[in-house]
Structures are given as structure tokens and as C-alpha cells.
């Protein structure tokens, strides 16, 4: 509906094209895209040039690490995490995308290797095992002498299905599989916890 309104705005076509590109970005609506475009075009400090430079540089020189899938320099053989010898080799954390890696890194709770699968199996969305970054996973486990795989996938049907599938293709008795604990978040009040979470927290209750 808002898009139709634009016809009446007499907006300059070049500006409209730019607004539409920004409005396609996640979490950016039409109003925010208009604000962004105006602030960029009215700026005198070369922010557009800097943004364009950064976009072109990242687009041309960043690719997914062939080992773990983390986005990294095309010139580097492997990413920052795969080449960091200080990280524990024996533990591998399976995550959906790079933002999950950043979340772990910010928390500092994990010092092992990552494997980004790039999505979740889904019949509805038509995501099959071939669409995920799984082909090199068995070889990786052997090469890197991994002894524990930690699944940090979303706590949803798709996440759990994907986890089960990955466990089935690895099929190695020497590997310990684990997943993140489910339960009440830190600072969480029981009033605000949904039934599913409460049920998981109750089932996984600890003796103190």
C-alpha cells in the first residue's frame, strides 16, 4: 500500500531507486529507507563514497571459508577462526550462520572451532541437505580429530530435524554429541516463560 503511495510523491526516479534498494534490507522499512537516503545525499563528508568503497571491497574480496563457512578474505586460505592455533581443535560448534558465531565470540564461552551450515532443513521452504554446508563435515571431523560436536542450532522443529540429520550422517561412535541446554533464561521471570520452555526446564531440572 505504501509502495503505491510513492507514485503520488513525484519522487525523483534516481532517489526512488535508491530508497527501494535500502527498503529491501532487513529491518529497514520504507520510512527508514527514505531517512537513510536523505541523510546520505545531504551529507557533505563523503559517506556515500565510503559506503560504496566498503560495499565493493567486501563484495569482491570476501568469500565463505572453504572449511567452516565463515565469511573471510578471499586471499586467505582459511578464516580467522580456522587458522587460529590458540583455539581448541577437539570441539566443533555447529551453527546456522555467521551472526551466531559473533554471538558466541561476544560471550567468550566457546574457544573451539565453528561450522556454519548456512540454513536449516525444511520441507516447507524446500531446503534439502544439498543446500547446506555439510559435504566436507565428515572429512573435517577426521582431519581435525574432533571429539565433541556441539549443536547450537535454533530450538525449533527445523533446528532439531537438522541436528538429527547431521548426527545420522556422521555416525561415529567416538564423537560425543551435545546441544545447548534449554530452560529459563538468566533473569527470566516464570510469568513470562512460555509453556514449551517451562516444560523443557522442568524436564531438565537439576538436583542442587
Q: Which residues bind a copy of itself (CB under 8 A)?
A: 5, 8-12, 14-15, 17-18, 20-22, 24-28, 32, 34-42, 47-52, 54-59, 61-62, 70-73, 79-81, 84, 97-99, 102, 105-106, 108, 118
Q: Measured from the CB of residue 79, what is the shortest distance to a copy of itself in angstroms?
A: 7
Q: Which residues contact 53 (CB under 8 A, 6 or more apart)?
A: none
Q: Work out how close the CB of 194 gets to a copy of itself at its nearest, in angstroms, rounded to a whole number.
A: 23
Which residue, 73 or 179, has its beta carbon nearer to a copy of itself? 73
Cβ proximity to a copy of itself: between 29 and 188 the closer is: 29
Give the CA diameter of the chain: 68
Question: b/e map of 24-59 (b: 16 or more CB within 10 Å)?
Answer: eeeeeeeeebbebbeeeeeeeeeeeeeeeeeeeeee
CA 50 to chain CA centroid, Å, is 26
Q: Which one, 47 or 176, has the nearer CB to a copy of itself?
A: 47
Closer residue to a copy of itself in complex, CB, 52/88: 52
Of residues 30 and 197, the one with the C-beta less far from a copy of itself = 30
Q: For residue 6, give every residue at least 6 positions away whose Cβ sits within 8 Å of its Cβ, in sequence order, or none.
A: 16
Torsion of CA 98, 103, 105, 107, to 10 degrees: -170
**CA dihedral of 72, 74, 80, 84, whole degrees rounded to 10:** 160
CB of 62 to a copy of itself, least distance (A): 5
Residue 187 falls in which region: left (phi positive, over 0), alpha (psi -120 to 50) or beta: left
Least separation in angstroms between residue 76's CB and a copy of itself is 9
Q: How far is the CB of 90 from a copy of itself (least distance, A)?
A: 19
Name the residue nearer to a copy of itself (CB basis): 106 or 205. 106
Give least dist CB 142 to a copy of itself, A: 26
Amino acid at each position: 500500500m505504501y509502495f503505491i503511495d510513492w507514485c503520488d510523491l513525484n519522487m525523483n526516479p534516481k532517489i526512488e531507486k535508491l530508497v527501494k534498494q535500502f527498503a529491501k534490507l532487513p529491518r529497514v522499512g520504507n520510512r527508514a529507507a527514505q531517512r537513510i537516503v536523505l541523510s546520505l545525499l545531504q551529507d557533505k563528508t563523503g559517506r556515500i563514497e565510503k559506503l560504496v568503497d566498503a560495499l565493493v571491497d567486501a563484495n569482491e574480496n570476501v568469500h565463505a571459508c572453504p572449511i567452516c563457512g565463515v565469511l573471510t578474505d578471499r586471499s586467505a586460505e582459511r578464516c580467522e577462526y580456522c587458522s587460529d592455533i590458540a583455539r581448541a581443535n577437539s570441539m566443533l560448534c555447529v551453527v546456522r550462520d555467521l551472526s551466531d558465531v559473533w554471538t558466541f565470540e561476544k560471550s567468550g564461552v566457546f574457544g573451539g572451532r565453528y561450522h556454519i551450515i548456512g540454513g536449516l532443513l525444511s520441507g516447507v521452504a524446500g531446503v534439502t541437505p544439498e543446500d547446506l554446508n555439510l559435504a566436507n563435515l565428515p572429512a573435517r571431523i577426521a582431519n581435525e580429530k574432533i571429539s565433541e560436536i556441539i549443536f547450537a542450532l535454533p530450538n525449533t522443529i527445523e533446528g532439531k530435524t537438522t541436528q538429527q540429520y547431521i548426527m545420522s550422517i556422521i555416525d561415529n561412535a567416538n564423537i560425543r554429541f551435545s546441544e545447548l541446554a534449554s530452560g529459563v533464561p538468566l533473569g527470566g521471570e516464570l510469568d513470562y516463560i512460555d509453556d514449551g520452555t517451562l516444560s523443557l526446564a522442568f524436564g531438565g531440572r537439576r538436583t542442587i
